[in-house]
Structure 1
Amino acid sequence: MMEAALLDAESSAAALPAGTRREPRMPQRRRDQAFLDAFDATGMVYDCFWHADGRRVLLVGPPPVNLVADYYLARFTALPSGNAVTRRFHSSLSVMITELIDVPTGSTAIAIRFGRETIELPIRANLSAQLAGARILFGMNRNNDLRWIGEWARFHQRLHGTDTIVLYDNGSTDYAVEAVVETLRAVPGLAHVAVPVWRQPFGRTDTAVRLNPYWAHFPQIASMSAVLRRYGAQATGILNADIDELVAPPDGRSIYAVASGLRHGLAVFRGRWIEAVPLTDAAADHRGYGVSLTDAKRARSRPNKWALDPRRGWVANLKVHPYWHWIAGRPMFSKITPDGAHYWHFRGINTNWKRSSDPVPRELLAPDADLAAAFARAAS
């Protein structure tokens, strides 16, 4: 069996100059220490890479928030030529793309003059041409059980034809990143694997604001723009699913093909909770769980997930920013839920943070026949 090829996953990151800090939205409101500890107040750039057109360079990072004036005063220079380059900012609530225009061919780094400091960032390669036509699955990982990661990858490869996985590692401590790489490369049918390491603070839900309280999860949201722009600009499809989520094949079809068949190339779908009730004492991965609440309303996992055909013209606009559960800047009326499209959301997976605190009475549960059938198909 051929192992999947390992893609270049090196990133170029930079912190804000000493003494410069990003503040939360509405900074006058009180936050608990847990939020402040997890908030990325010092990150400036998470990655720097060529645009797929080979003429521009993109910097992906957190939003400026209170630092808008500082970013506009920053100066960007291509190295080794020393040519000053024009910049445009494309910012949303949780991420900003800095677009550098007409960067000279052969440039190897970008120098950023920010305040009194100058920071140099190597320009990383764009892999979109190498991955033209790929079916990409991506997510972010921190200390998830390697068996769960392996089953997540196998399921989507077998039922959807996933051939490329980009799994960002947010500073796992239970194992080395090489263990994640080996787990993914061993999955039959995968052609390419990338495991970029982003150690920036992950962020927490902001209870001080009501509108979009998940806004401060900067690394995860920014990684979505990096996947789209650095790896997937010419892919057949991109699918976002966390390790505790398995996407159902609508009527047996690949979700990538379903999305490509839609007018705007965007499929969105909700989920169904699979309860943290193991089928056997030896439950080791997703296949060890398989029951959901008989009450369909209570069993529903409401957040949307999505699959996208990135080759559509509207996606090229850098004001389009993928998020966890939606895509900012998408065209009106582009959000379509195809018949049969949904995902299974496993409470007993993903370091158990979604595990219910109270045991669910057995009489309220029933086997999920669709999930069992999907597992059987994936094993055939």
Structure 2
Amino acid sequence: MLYYDCFRSGPDVLLIGPPPYGLVSALHKATMTGLPGNISLASSSYRSESVMITRLVDVPSDVAAIRIALKSGETFTLNVQPSSVAEFSGARLLFTMSKDNELAWISEWARYHSRVHGTDAVVFFDNGSQRYTLAEIAATIAAQGISRVAIHSWPYIYGAPDPAVRLNPFYTQFLQVASMSVMLRRYGLNSAGILNCDIDELAATPRDSSIYDLVQKSPQGLIVMQGRYMEPVPNSDAVPFGDHRDYIRYLADPTLSTSRPKKWALDPSRHWVQNLKVHPYMHWIENRPFFSKTTPEGVFYRHFRAINTNWKDRRTENLPETGQALIVDQDYIETLRRA
């Protein structure tokens, strides 16, 4: 697949897809044409190890599709989708990519961030779920007070790690990295803030603060945070919720309880974000300015081992070993009481 998405961005059209490994020369020689009218279009590309953005400059408003013609004779046609940047302007946006996670988990993920951080918009990339429809996902999220919901069908192959690359074997997960550029460029560019958290993750900040307020006050508009693993040991002292709220304990040993992959929150109004060379990844932002990230005191995310379909590993079965001390997360319990 050359491109996952094709959409308006001001006077331009952006194509977002995987990097063209083995196809650099073919794409360089390809012609891009706007339809109807057979309008020749100038292009420029901005690529990283895991994603490429192709910008088509000053595309007339009546162009409805882009035809890509390779010198080999192959042609591809992409319909131009509208931008949703205006619809999400000023929003406190939360986004993720998900496949077949329980609707109850999705509901609590949306409810928590709405109540605790003031999230009022969600962009949800669905990776081909079979257990429910896109409409059911949208209704589940909207029921938690989220006023703006975009469910983006994203049913393509996720991509396996490359074991031959030791430093970053996950560079081949082109689909998820590309979804982040689509989220930013098609939906979130004019939002008040963007929070990157998966369904099994809940962002935490000091009491009476919101991750969106904190990132707007940060020096360069970027907060990064590590996580705390919440163990898959149900709370036997309460009636089960069937979601994150059933799991309130973490390991006392910080070397075991720390979830080291970083998540981030972004203020997209900062001028450096407009640069198409800037590519959001799952755990960092490629080509961000030097010294642009901060981690305010008390900011982290809770990472729930039990909120998982075991699609990648048997995480829900990794119970603490006998003798390992557990701590009841009183701050989380207090947050839930207030939410």
TM-score tier by shorter-chain length is over 0.9
Equivalent residue, structure 2, for 1:44: 2
Find the counterpart in structure 2 of residue 12 from structure 1.
Answer: none
Secondary structure of 1:307's counterpart equals strand
Q: 1:346 to 1:358 in 2, by over 3 A?
A: closer
Tell me, yes or no, if the aligned pair for 2:89 and 2:191 is still in contact at 8 Å. Answer: yes
Could you report, residue by residue, the CA deviation over 1:52-80 in whole angstroms, capped at 9, with x for unpaired residues? x2x10000111112211111111111111
Contact map agreement 1:135 1:164 (CA 8 A) in 2 = yes
Q: 1:248–1:374: 8 Å Cα contact kept in structure 2?
A: no
1:323 and 2:281 aligned:
yes
Q: Look up the SS of the partner of 2:153 in the other structure.
A: coil
CA distance in 1 between counterparts of 2:241 and 2:212 reads 30
Structure 2 counterpart of 1:142: 99
After TM superposition, the score normalised by the length of structure 2 is 0.95
Note if 1:372 corresponds to 2:328.
no
Distance 1:132 1:327 in 2: 21
| Equivalent residue letter for 1:123 | V
Query: By how many angstroms is 1:362 displaced?
Result: 6.2
Deviation at 1:180, TM superposition (A): 1.0
1:73 aligns with 2:34: no
Matched, 1:347 2:308: no
Structure 1: distance between partners of 2:59 and 2:134:
33
Offset at residue 203 of structure 1 (A): 1.2
- Identify which of 208, 213, 235 aligns with 2:191: 235
By how many angstroms is 1:205 displaced?
A: 2.2
Task: Tell me how far apart the structure 2 counterparts of residues 307 and 183 of structure 1 sit (CA, whole Å).
Answer: 24
1:62 to 18, 22, 33: 18
Superposed displacement of residue 356, structure 1: 4.6
In 1: Cα distance, 2:161 partner to 2:336 partner:
33
Displacement after TM superposition at 1:359 (Å): 4.1
1:7 corresponding residue in structure 2: none
In 1, distance between residues paired with 2:28 and 2:328?
56
Q: Is the 8 A contact 1:48 1:122 kept in 2?
A: yes
Instruction: Please tell me the residue identity of whatever aligns with 1:70.
Output: A
Q: 1:363–1:209: structure 2 CA closer, same or farther, 3 Å change rule? A: closer
| 327-336 or 363-372, larger mean C-alpha shift | 363-372
* Other-structure match for 2:150: 194
Kindly tell me: are residues 333 and 318 of structure 1, through their superposed partners in 2, closer, same or farther at Cα, counting changes over 3 Å? same
Among residues 80, 88, 109, which one is paired with 1:152 in the alignment?
Answer: 109
**DSSP 3-state at the match of 1:215:** helix
Equivalent residues in 2 for 1:159-174, closer than 5 Å: 159-174=116-131
For residues 335 and 221 of structure 2, the distance between their equivalents in structure 1, rounded to whole angstroms, comes to 24
Aligned to 2:269: 311
Structure 2 segments unaligned to the other structure (5+ residues): none
Per the alignment, residue 19 of structure 1 pairs with none
Q: Which residue is 1:121 aligned to? A: 78
Residue 82 (structure 1) shift: 1.3
SS at match of 2:331: helix
Describe the shift of the 1:358–1:367 C-alpha distance in structure 2 as closer, same or farther (beyond 3 A): closer
Let me know the Cα RMSD of the aligned residues.
1.4
For 2:209, the equivalent position in structure 1 comes to 253
Q: Is the 8 A contact 2:308 2:316 kept in 1?
A: no
Contact kept, 8 Å, 1:159 with 1:249, in 2: the verdict is no
Aligned with 1:147: secondary structure?
helix
| Partner of residue 99, structure 1 | 55
Residue aligning to 2:133: 176
Query: Judging changes above 3 Å, is the alpha-carbon distance between structure 1 residues 359 and 271 closer, same or farther for their aligned structure 2 residues?
Result: closer
Distance 2:143 2:318 in 1: 35
Tell me which residue corresponds to 1:32: none
Structure 1 residues not aligned, in runs of 5+: 1-42
| Aligned residue-pair number | 333
Aligned AA (1:337): T
Among the aligned pairs, what percent are the same residue?
Answer: 47
Instruction: Show CA shifts across 1:282-338 (max 9, x none).
Output: 351000111000112221110110000001100000000000000001000001111
Contact 2:231 2:319 survives alignment (8 Å): no
CA contact (8 A) 2:233 2:319 kept: no
Q: Name the CA distance, whole Å, in 1 between partners of 2:111 and 2:258.
A: 24
Residue in 2 aligned with 1:299? 257
